[in-house]
Amino acid sequence: MKKTILFAAAVLTCCLAMAQSSKEVNWSYSSRKIGDKTYEVHMIATIGGNYHMYAQNVGGDGPIPTSFTFTKSPLIQPSGETKEVGQVIKKFESAWNHDVRYYERTVEFVQVVKLKSNVKTNLAGKVEFMVCNDHECLPPSTVDIKVNIGG
């Protein structure tokens, strides 16, 4: 019985810790037509408190970089890499023993996509990210992405 209670407490603690990481970053999504059947998808991260979120190219081993995985669709073709728009900070962090790249307060990620026909659809996927401050890092978090495109 003791082992069951301890196991349940450990699982609950892990779940709460995982939930906290996603609470420190609020995501908003939008799309904008930039050409014939071509759209920019904007994914904006607003980072709370004194936390920072790592860039896609963090600069070495250690912290989990922000990464996007888009669900394959016969209607949508991603074009190029996801770009970052914001004030990137490059700083030595002793926890990782090298320079890292990260964002404070806000960062915008932009992905260009092309529709295969004039339809209304959704770009779906996931974003994985990690936040830290001067004292701690929260466990990585994964958030679902769903953005309306076309129409």
pLDDT at 95: 85
pTM: 0.84
Average confidence score pLDDT of the chain: 88
CATH topology for 2-150 is Immunoglobulin-like (2.60.40)
Joined tokens for residue 19: 């939930």
Residues 44-74: pLDDT tens digits? 999 998 999 999 999 989 999 999 999 999 9
